[in-house]
């Protein structure tokens, strides 16, 4: 019996002394790039803020005024002074982002009556135009131009003797 115990013990020792192979672990790679929890927010330009449709709510001119400022630098001005239909004037605008100076030309090549300093409220629903020639400011509210204004307007091509638009 002692012999059997010695043999069993010898087998256990022999089995435990065998050569072991260790599987290699994955190779360490480069440190992972830390994930930014929020991508950087792109600051919206003033030109992007003013793009849209606006309705004049405060002005020293007794008129109903809508303006569409398009991102392609074109504009449509719908103006109604007194009775009758709105008159539509078209042209292009440009903006100096550093000085917030907004100016434009009508399709006939005539410049606006003034250039303006433009400001937009934080909620982007109010735009103020202050003429550089120190007249009273105009305040616009972001509002779609009603379909009846667009459909019933008289398209104007400015020429000598035609009424001057607001801008």
66, 56 Cβ separation under 8 angstroms = yes
Residue 107 placed within a domain: yes
DSSP for 27-84, written as a single string: PP-PPPPPPPSSPPPPPPPHHHHH-EEEEEEE-SS-SEEEEEE-TTSEEEEEEE-SSS
Mean pLDDT of 120-125: 96
CATH value at residue 54: 2.40.128.370
- Each residue of 50-60: pLDDT tens digit? 999 999 998 88
State the maximum Cα–Cα separation within the chain, in Å, rounded to a whole number: 131
Q: How many domains does the chain have?
A: 1
Q: Which residue has the higher pLDDT, 100 or 30?
A: 100
Q: Look at 54-63, 85-94, 113-122 and tell me which has the smallest mean pLDDT.
A: 54-63
Residue 110 placed within a domain: yes
Residue 75 placed within a domain: yes
Q: Look at 40-44, 84-88, 94-98 and tell me which has the smallest mean pLDDT.
A: 40-44
Residue 89 placed within a domain: yes
Residue 82 placed within a domain: yes
**To the nearest whole percent, how much of the chain has pLDDT over 90?**
57
The residue count of the chain comes to 167
Domain that includes residue 73, residue range: 46-155
């Amino acid at each position: 019996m002692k012999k059997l115990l010695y043999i069993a013990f010898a087998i256990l020792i022999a089995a435990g002394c065998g050569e072991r192979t260790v599987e290699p672990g994955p190779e360490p790679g480069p440190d992972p790039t830390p994930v930014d929890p929020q991508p950087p927010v792109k600051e919206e330009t003033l030109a992007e803020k003013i793009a849209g449709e606006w309705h004049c709510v405060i002005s020293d001119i007794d008129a109903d005024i809508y303006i569409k400022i398009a991102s392609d630098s074109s504009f449509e001005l719908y103006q109604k002074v007194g009775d009758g239909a709105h008159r539509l004037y078209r042209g292009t605008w440009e903006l100096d982002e550093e000085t917030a100076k907004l100016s434009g030309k009508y399709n006939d090549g005539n410049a606006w009556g003034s250039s303006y300093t433009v400001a937009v409220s934080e909620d982007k629903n109010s735009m103020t135009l202050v003429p550089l020639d120190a007249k009273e400011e105009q305040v616009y509210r972001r509002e779609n131009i009603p379909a009846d204004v667009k459909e019933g307007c008289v398209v104007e091509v400015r020429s000598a003797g035609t009424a001057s638009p607001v801008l």
